[in-house]
Amino acid sequence: MNTTATMLAHMAPCRDTTPEQLAQLIDMHLGELREKKPNWTLAASTVAGRGVFATRDIVAGELIFRERALVVGPTARKGQLSTCVCCHRLLPTQGFLCKQRCTLPVCAACSGSVTHRAECEHFRRWQPKDADAEEEQVNPLSLRILTAVRVFHLGKEQRHLVDAMQANAERGFRQEIIKAAQCFRNFPTTDKPFMDQLFRIVGVLNTNAFEAPCRTDGRETLLRGLFPLTAIMNHECTPNASHYFDNGRLAIVRAARDIPKGGEITTTYTKILWGNLTRGIFLKMTKHFMCDCTRCNDNTENGTYLSALFCREQGCRGLVIPVQTRTLQPDWRCLSCENVFPHSKMARYQDFALNTINNRINSCSVPDMIHFINDLCPRFCPPSNYVLIEAKLNVIWRMTRFDTDQYTTEEVAHKDRYREDILAILHKLGAGECTLKKLITEEIQ
């Protein structure tokens, strides 16, 4: 993923790869998925670094490319630890660690697979401290390093491609490695060339990897996948292309809007429905850049008012929105009484709304959630605020994907209304045939 020019100074150097070499490596990686005459090409981008560009006019909905993951691994998130590292099935509560004592969670069928054998030996050579533990437990720190270990087992060209990818040089990445190293007795911490390579690989993964949903046995797991071409696409808050994943291992990129010949093909690194400030903070924290797209420069957010909160002035129920764009600490002004409030005050209010709504999302049944959205939220949160929109989205997901419960006609009608609300917002944003639209209209699963 490329960021702004100011960020390039912070990038760890990638091994000298000319644009032609990078294009060749990408072509090899795409293999038979590469179209004979692709409608895209790689080129230098004005947004930053390099990007993906249209070689001819592309119409909304058209396929741009499909790409298999170069490497996948577990996200090592809480709640997903006891999932097989190879097939991602949920494992039994006992006897789920590898019998070879590599300390990785793996199912019986995958434990003898070629993929696991290589990483199993690798882990055992490092001597995991947990190998002698009485209790079976997955260590998230060593589980997280597995994707990097898998990179070491890739073929030569695939390794070159990883080397050619950009990486932010974050201090936090070194911490991640140090913590993982402490889980082993024999981690090669004094082997400088190895440690340098590992640092670079962890940087590439943290900068570029996607969390791709994968469904196994009716359950969704998030995989950590490196999709190099998808990652080269630059960010735009309302992008002209949409990407989604098929079973965690295949990325599919389609045009969300018409893209003219020569135009840069963009995707988003954030959630499309987040407000300006939330996206700004996320991009700054995780991708280390400030976005300067048209949406970020419009404090009405294309008239969606996704960040709006209620006025804090007594008796006024006006909408308060950030005054300045391109700052993470704006003043806020009421559209009715024109009073101005400091960012700190409004940020506390936004956090309160976020926490109140998230607590309900995590604890309420669907009918309670509907009651909360319809009757309680309007007291403290404007209907346009993105947190309330996310709550509606949560109801849609639960009613269409995860719960198999029966719902009343009235509940279904509420869900359908929420969907209309969200489609209207996406329309205002000019999001076109974006992934979220396809998901809520169940065009893709």
Instruction: Give the footprint of Zn ion on this chain (CB under 5 A).
Output: 84, 86-87, 98, 100, 102, 107, 110, 120, 237, 291, 293, 296, 311, 313, 316, 318, 334, 336-337
Measured from the CB atom, is 263 or 318 closer to Zn ion? 318
Burial of 175 (0-12, 13-18, 19+ CB in 10 A): exposed
Measured from the CB atom, is 293 or 354 closer to Zn ion? 293
In the complex, minimum distance from the CB of residue 344 to Zn ion, in angstroms, rounded to a whole number: 18
Measured CA to CA in angstroms, residue 226 lies from 119, 127, 203, 229 at distances of 18, 27, 12, 9
Given a contact cutoff of 8 angstroms between Cβ atoms, the answer to whether 93 and 105 are in contact is no
Instruction: Tell me the helices (H) and strands (E) count for the chain, helix number first.
Output: 17, 16
Task: Tell me how far apart the terminal alpha carbons of the chain are, to the nearest angstrom.
Answer: 26
Measured CA to CA in angstroms, residue 153 lies from 70, 114, 136, 229, 305 at distances of 11, 11, 27, 20, 48
In the complex, minimum distance from the CB of residue 286 to Zn ion, in angstroms, rounded to a whole number: 14
Q: Which two tokens stand for residue 305?
A: 């008012």
Measured from the CB atom, is 120 or 393 closer to Zn ion? 120
Q: Which two tokens stand for residue 71?
A: 């490497």
Q: Which two tokens stand for residue 327?
A: 């700052």
In the complex, minimum distance from the CB of residue 227 to Zn ion, in angstroms, rounded to a whole number: 22
Measured from the CB atom, is 58 or 334 closer to Zn ion? 334
Q: Helix, strand, or coil here: 319? A: strand
Q: Helix, strand, or coil here: 64? A: strand
Measured from the CB atom, is 23 or 293 closer to Zn ion? 293
State residue 67 phi and psi, 5-degree precision.
Answer: -145, 130
Measured from the CB atom, is 92 or 193 closer to Zn ion? 92
In the complex, minimum distance from the CB of residue 104 to Zn ion, in angstroms, rounded to a whole number: 5
State residue 115 phi and psi, 5-degree precision.
Answer: -55, -50
In the complex, minimum distance from the CB of residue 3 to Zn ion, in angstroms, rounded to a whole number: 12
Measured from the CB atom, is 334 or 357 closer to Zn ion? 334
Measured from the CB atom, is 110 or 361 closer to Zn ion? 110
Return the number of other C-beta atoms located less than 10 Å from residue 399's C-beta.
21
Q: Helix, strand, or coil here: 18? A: coil
In the complex, minimum distance from the CB of residue 293 to Zn ion, in angstroms, rounded to a whole number: 3
State residue 197 phi and psi, 5-degree precision.
Answer: -65, -45
Residue showing tokens 């998925």:
33
What is the b/e burial string over 189-205, where b = at least 16 CB atoms within 10 angstroms of the residue's CB?
eeeeeebebbbbbbbbb
Measured from the CB atom, is 130 or 313 closer to Zn ion? 313
In the complex, minimum distance from the CB of residue 109 to Zn ion, in angstroms, rounded to a whole number: 5
Measured CA to CA in angstroms, residue 290 lies from 129, 172, 173, 365 at distances of 42, 20, 21, 38
In the complex, minimum distance from the CB of residue 355 to Zn ion, in angstroms, rounded to a whole number: 24
In the complex, minimum distance from the CB of residue 100 to Zn ion, in angstroms, rounded to a whole number: 4
Measured from the CB atom, is 203 or 225 closer to Zn ion? 225
What whole-number distance in Å separates Cα of residue 421 and Cα of residue 388?
A: 11
State residue 243 phi and psi, 5-degree precision.
Answer: -120, 145
Q: Helix, strand, or coil here: 149? A: helix
In the complex, minimum distance from the CB of residue 423 to Zn ion, in angstroms, rounded to a whole number: 21
Measured from the CB atom, is 203 or 239 closer to Zn ion? 239
Measured from the CB atom, is 74 or 228 closer to Zn ion? 74
In the complex, minimum distance from the CB of residue 146 to Zn ion, in angstroms, rounded to a whole number: 11
In the complex, minimum distance from the CB of residue 92 to Zn ion, in angstroms, rounded to a whole number: 12
Burial of 393 (0-12, 13-18, 19+ CB in 10 A): buried
Task: Give the full edge-to-edge strand order of the sheet including 234-235.
Answer: 40-44, 50-54, 264-267, 234-235
Q: Name the β-bridge partners of 319.
A: 310
